[in-house]
Structure 1
Amino acid sequence: MQRGPLAGREYWYCPNCQLIHVPQRFLLDAVAEKAIYDLHENNPGDPGYRAFLSRLFTPLSALLPAGSQGLDFGCGPTPVLAEMFREIGVRCTTFDIYYDNEPTRLQQQYDFIVSTEVVEHLATPAKVFNQLLACLKPNALMGIMTQRWDSIERFKQWTYRNDPTHICFFHEQTFQWLAQKFGLQLTIYPRDVVIFQQSISG
């Protein structure tokens, strides 16, 4: 029997884009949500955590032209991924609604945006996706890392959904739907990484 913040929680499924999301009435308030995030320990000196981030960092950094400048969206209290880009000479600024809330950074345009383990926390993913697309220069890249569900039966047993801050669950077809809707090129990588590319015309 589910207890606490997961008790009675519902999951709604969109047959068009394959997104599964949690209805508004089951969402945590900002204080409770941040309290959970404050428990995360993302140590910049932890080689295991760096290897985890490298699943996105490695393929995306290989695609960047010289002089690129990016944004780590949802960087958390310790923006390790942004630091990894800086270590290879790539400028990368940060934004996080709780830990680095500088709205002016979402009014600029970038050559790339990265977002690791963030989109599953979004109450309004379409709004945020549109906001991030507006921050991309023509031909820019957007890399997203989030675990993907692949079948309803597995979803029912999936431990990833047991985090009360996880409220949006993406399928591979969700990203394909987004690419088609917004005219983006899409590359899907194993496990949990996708990279979109903005069209030349923007």
Structure 2
Amino acid sequence: MKTDCPFCLSQRIRKIECSSLVYGNCEVCGGFFLFSRYFPSSQKSRERYEHHNNELSDPGYRNYLQNFIDTFLDFFRTDAGLRSRPASILDWGSGPVPSLTTLLQEQGFEAYPYDLHYQPVLPDAAVRFETIVCLEVAEHFLSPRDEFRRMADFLLPSGYLVVGTHPAESMSCDFEKWWYRSDITHVSFYSEKSLEIVGASADLVFRGKIGQFEYVFQKKG
């Protein structure tokens, strides 16, 4: 039975065996993905997340988050017709410690956390946001098209989705040795083309790459 690419649904998949795991590389969109039978359990994923150092007390991590914020705010300021400060922000995949949410709130933003494992209650179904930020989360998506659709559902018309994830094009060596693959909870690795396709499947227009690993999408109005 052939496997569909989770990004573009093509069945033109090249298999890659790495350390007892099997990945696919789509020959159409260029994305890489872990075959579903090798997905980590929810418990193993939680154990891995809780080893991350995501505290704002760490100056390096705080600077990392601030650089992400500055990158998308700079885009908003320079892109014609956009407001420099989004009125409301949803932090999608905020983690065990919602540091990005907290940093945004410190700077006066109306920001809210959401995380499948740690903050699983989404805002009321009637609530929509001007911006959703998704930093170092999309690589954990077991079903990227479904997750992008869920995020799009919580955006206002013409709202923005900012995704931070390291692209497959950034590999300086072969996939098996790529550092980003070594995290057991990383299962989806996007090319720019696969990001554009996944976004389009959720009625999100790909606005482009705005930083080293930051991408912006806009919901159709």
Q: TM-score, normalised by structure 2?
A: 0.80
Deviations 1:37-64 (A, max 9, x none): 1111211122211221233211223424
**Identity across matched positions, percent:** 24
- Equivalent residue, structure 2, for 1:91: 110
Whether contact under 8 Å (2:90, 2:111) holds in the other structure is yes
Q: Distance in 1 between matches of 2:50 and 2:185?
A: 12
Aligned partner (choices 187, 192, 206) of residue 167 of structure 1 = 187
Distance 1:146 1:67 in 2: 21
- C-alpha distance in structure 2 between counterparts of 1:142 and 1:113, whole Å: 5
Which sections of structure 2, spanning at least 5 residues, go unmatched?
1-17, 77-82
**Is the 1:144–1:194 contact (alpha carbons within 8 Å) kept by the matching residues of 2?**
yes
Between 1:59-68 and 1:41-50, the stretch displaced more is 59-68
Which residue number corresponds to residue 190 of structure 1?
A: 211
Distance 1:26 1:109 in 2: 35
Tell me whether 1:58 sits opposite 2:70 in the alignment.
yes
1:17 CA drift (Å): 2.6
The letter of the residue matching 1:31 is Q
Cα RMSD of the aligned pairs, angstroms, is: 2.2
Task: Report the Cα distance in structure 1 between the residues aligned to 2:68 and 2:177, rounded to whole angstroms.
Answer: 26
1:177, CA displacement in angstroms?
2.7
CA drift at 1:13: 1.8
Please give the alpha-carbon distance, in whole angstroms, between the structure 1 residues aligned to 2:125 and 2:145: 16
Distance 1:156 1:191, change over 3 A: farther
Task: Measure the CA separation in 1 of the matches of 2:125 and 2:208.
Answer: 24
Unpaired segments of 5 or more residues in structure 1?
1-5
Greater helix proportion? 1
Q: Does 1:118 align with 2:137?
A: yes
State the match for 2:56 in structure 1.
Answer: 44
1-side partners of 2:200 and 2:40: how far apart?
Answer: 32
CA change 1:37–1:171 in 2 (3 A) is same
User: Match of 1:51, as an amino acid?
Assistant: N
Structure 1 counterpart of 2:146, from 105, 112, 127: 127
Stretch moving more, 61-70 or 107-116: 61-70
Paired positions, count: 195
Match of 2:175 in 1: 155
Q: Deviations over 1:55-104 (max 9, x none)?
A: 32112234245561110010011111111211221100011111111134
Q: Is the 8 A contact 2:92 2:132 kept in 1?
A: yes
Q: TM-score, normalised by structure 1?
A: 0.86
| Aligned partners of 2:71 and 2:211 also within 8 Å | no
